[in-house]
Every structure is written in structure tokens, then in C-alpha cells.
Amino acid sequence: MTPTLHIATVGDNTCQAENAVPVREWLHRLAPARLRDIERLMAPAPHVLPAEVVGRGIDLQQLDRLTQDLTLDGLPPAIRRSSRSRRLGYLGGRLCAETALLARSGRCEAIGTGDGGAPRWPDGVVGSIAHTRDGAWAAVAASAEWLRVGIDSECIVDENGSRDIVALCCTPRERARWFPAGADPLRATLLFSAKESVYKAIHPLVKRFVEFDEMEWIDVSGNREDGSAPLSLRFRPTPDGPLDGRVHELLVQARVTGDQVHTSVAEPRA
């Protein structure tokens, strides 16, 4: 009989209901050897994170191989009807988040799904999940010490993709400052990924979808955009925009590894 894997779809961190049981726990019940194989795939997230913020990542191609015979029931309806790659990204992200929580607190807790598909974190936790076609990552921290956490990962876009980002995701000031000679694939990917990290970090505050022109990239420091060292990018709410006065400047850390960009926001409580 094909094993069935139920994945948490609610934010009940007591894990009393069947669909609130952590993914790791179901894997342990159904196929403990498989869980051990998946645990061996887990690695530290490549994002630039403070020591108190725990990040984990997994190769989705390897996860695909290890879960081919599992029926992934219990996914949110929109995910359940989606492609295999989308389901794997969701599953991989939840596994990374649970593994990071286990490393941080010694407890494995379910990660639910809130409005718009955003993760619903257990009480006392802030975190973020990201994935590309190749990998999934999560970062978690104690909300008593960290106000917000956001991470994102993107494959570096091609020339067409960079032109789309500059046209659709930049304010006029960003186009003039960062793309005076036209679209640049790496820089465009950095901007897109950094804004995604910012939006994930501030979502618990604004509780709505944030448009790309509501935050602006205003400064960068660090080595050149060649992957030799992390970059620090500063963002602010667009003057007179919807977030002006609600969100202050945020620092985004970026790292380039191969053909991917990884960005992160981790803001401690004052």
C-alpha cells in the first residue's frame, strides 16, 4: 500500500488534530529510514543570518527521489492541484522550517498556512521560507529576540528577465540610480530578491500584498556583485507611498552562489 503523508495546513501548534502533525513526525511514523535519509540532505542555509537565526536548506531533486512513492495528501487545495515541482517546494520548505525549529528549540512543531499561502508560525517564532526549482530553505528565530525575519532565493535571470524586472519592479529613482545603462541580470535579480525578502519580513506588520514600488533600494555596501563576499543593501519605504511612516529603513544581506542569489532580512528587537 502506498504510504500517505499528511501535511500541516492549520496553525494549531498543539498538534492535536491530524492535519496539524509536523511533516517530520508523519515521515517518522510512515518511513523512519526515509526521514533519516532526508535529514542527511539538510544543510545550513546559504543566506547571511545572525547566529541566533537558524537556517536550513534541502536539495529538491534529492527530496523528489526520496518521496516518489509517498502520497502527499493534506496539502492546501491550491498546492495539491499544482505541479509536482510546486508540491515539492512546499514540502521541502516545511521540512526545512521544522528542522530549523528542532535545531533552535529541540521541539518539532507544525508550520501552518495562513492567508495568501504565507507560513503560520508557532507562538514565539518568527521565520521565513524560500525555494527555487532546485532547493528549499527556511530561517527561524525567537520572536522575543527578533522582530522580523525574511529570506528569498532566486536563480539569476536572463536578459529578458532583467528587462522585465527593471520595467515592472523598479521605481523611477531605482531605474535612474541602479540601471543607468539598462538592465543587468545579476543586479536585477538582487533587487527582485531583496524586495521579496523585505516583503516577507514586513508581512506580519502590514498583513497585505505589497507592491514592488512601495519600497526602494537606496544604498549598497560590500564587495562587487561577484559573489566574493556578502553585500548589504538598504531599502526604505517609497516617499509618500503607502508604507511611508509605517516601515523604517531595512538592511538586506545578499550572497551570490553560482547561478543563485540569496537575500535575507533579520531585524532584532530594540
Of 2.60.40, 3.30.390, 3.90.470, 3.30.70, which CATH number belongs to 18-144?
3.90.470
Do the domains 151-268 and 18-144 match in fold? yes
Q: Per the CATH hierarchy, to which homologous superfamily does domain 151-268 belong?
A: 4'-phosphopantetheinyl transferase domain (3.90.470.20)
> What pLDDT, on a 0 to 100 scale, did the predictor assign at position 189?
97
In the block, cell 511611508 appears at 244
How far is it, in rounded angstroms, from Cα 130 to Cα 126?
14
Identify residue 19 by its one-letter amino acid code: N
> What pLDDT, on a 0 to 100 scale, did the predictor assign at position 223?
65
Q: What are the pLDDT digits (tens) for 52-88?
A: 999 999 999 999 999 888 776 666 777 778 888 988 9
How far is it, in rounded angstroms, from Cα 157 to Cα 155?
6
How far is it, in rounded angstroms, from Cα 50 to Cα 263?
13
How far is it, in rounded angstroms, from Cα 40 to Cα 36?
6
> What pLDDT, on a 0 to 100 scale, did the predictor assign at position 107?
87
Q: What is the mean pLDDT of residues 140-156?
A: 97
Give the confidence band of 215 by pLDDT, cuts at 50, 70, 90: very high
Model pTM above 0.85: yes
How far is it, in rounded angstroms, from Cα 186 to Cα 254?
12
| Dihedral over Cα of 9, 14, 16, 21: its sign | positive
Q: What are the pLDDT digits (tens) for 3-58?
A: 555 555 433 333 333 346 788 888 888 788 999 999 999 999 999 999 999 999 99
pLDDT at residue 246 above 90? Answer: yes
Q: Show the cell assigned to 189.
A: 535579480
> Could you tell me the residue ranges of all domains in the chain?
18-144, 151-268
